[in-house]
Chain A
Amino acid sequence: MERRLLMIDDDIALGKLVQEFLTTEGWSCYWVDNGEEGYQEALALKPDVILLDLNLPGVGGMELCHRMKGDPRLSHIPVVILTGAYKEVRDRVRGLERGADDYILKPFDLDILLARLNSISRVKGKVA
């Protein structure tokens, strides 16, 4: 079964790296570099998982996460925060309390990212 991932991150090199890696692991990856486009793309795509950076131009990642979780069209889609900027415990707690399903710090291991995404999509596939 095809699994679709939307990555919202303004780091072009990282976007390409993740996209290439996950594609070889059976994921269809879509990537945008800003929050507003990310929101529209999420509505159009209805991906299985959204991978979300926090430091984005325009609408910030935390605000975007809150918006998506408050939108009935998107609230069921798991959001995984991927950040190199907000690393403190209070940041992680805030992200998870704002509705994120997971909170991963950069730099990260691609295999562990894949394991976490597979774990999330396993449960989503069962309950959705």
Chain B
Amino acid sequence: MKYKILVVEDNKNDAEQLTNACHQGGFQTSLADSGEKALEMVWTWKPDMLLLDLLLPGIGGKEVCRILREDERGRAIPLIMISQAKDRGDVLAGFAAGTDDYLTKPFEPQELVARMNAVLRRYHKKNGESEVLCVGKVMLDLSKHRVEVDGAGVKLTGKEFGLLEVMMKKSGRVLSRQFLLEYVWGYEEEVLTRTIDMHIARLRQKLGDEGRQRIQTVERFGYRFSDE
């Protein structure tokens, strides 16, 4: 399911940047160019999250946030303020109004998406609830640290599990060896990129036909976990 993100921004360039970042992160978007329109769309379009600029024509961003947080349904909508205002007073006022996170412009699209996912996790994850990723016949349960292919359990090492987790989370996208190296091994350890190739080969073997079909090599770059 694609999360629906309402981008509330009156500046066209900023709106385009925010929308592009959301699309890169796999989100669906709609745009509101004023506070009034945002409040209307919250009830009609029913977004899963708001990205809210503070300087808006008419009702400002902080006021939009305050209005939402005073409403029972509005309190359940994740919200991130994105503003040029960097002073501690502005940040504190944003949190006092009820924002879940506060990013200043210019922002890094990757960080925005990571923060959006973090806030969405916060709202959608209940106590003890498992986080399960499914692509094709492969199922990975993060909370139980368990992997199944077509219902049958597969034993993986910690690094293999980490590799599969990041590839499934970003299924369909090409991931460089460097990225995988940093994500799974971290910067602390000196690991050769060849090590990744060895782990990928073992992962393919353990996941059988499904692994060989889905884990695709992108020559001289890295790997992709196909979701097709």
Interface residues of A (CB under 8 A from B): 60, 62-63, 66, 69-72, 75-76, 78, 89-90, 92-94, 96-102, 109, 111-112, 115-116, 118-120, 123-124, 126-128
Find A101's partner among B88, B122, B124, B142 (CB 8 Å cutoff). Answer: B122
Given contacts A115-B91, A115-B92, A120-B122, contact A69 B111 (CB under 8 A): no
- Are B101's CB and A102's CB within 8 A? yes
Known A70-B142, A118-B95, A119-B100: A97·B128 in contact at CB below 8 Å = no
Residues of B contacting A: mostly: helix
Residue pair A101, B121 in contact (C-beta under 8 Å): yes
Residue numbers of B with Cβ under 8 A of A are: 75-76, 88, 91-92, 95-96, 98-101, 108, 110-111, 114-115, 117-118, 121-131, 142-145, 162, 166, 169, 182-183, 186, 188
Q: Is the interface of A mostly helix, strand, loop or mixed?
A: helix
Residue of B nearest to A111 (CB): B92
Cβ–Cβ contact A72 & B91, under 8 A: no
In the complex, what residues of A have CB within 8 A of residue B118's CB? Answer: 96, 100-102
B115 close to A75 (CB less than 8 A): no
User: Do the beta carbons of A119 and B186 come within 8 Å of each other?
Assistant: no
- Do B130 and A127 touch across chains, with their CB atoms under 8 A apart? no
Min distance, Cβ A59 to any Cβ of chain B, angstroms: 11
Residues on the B chain within 8 Å of A97, using CB: 114, 117, 166, 169, 183
Query: Complex: how many Å from CA A111 to CA B92?
Result: 8
> In the complex, are the beta carbons of B122 and A124 less than 8 A apart?
yes
Task: Establish whether residues B117 and A62, one from each chain, have CB atoms under 8 Å apart when the complex forms.
Answer: no
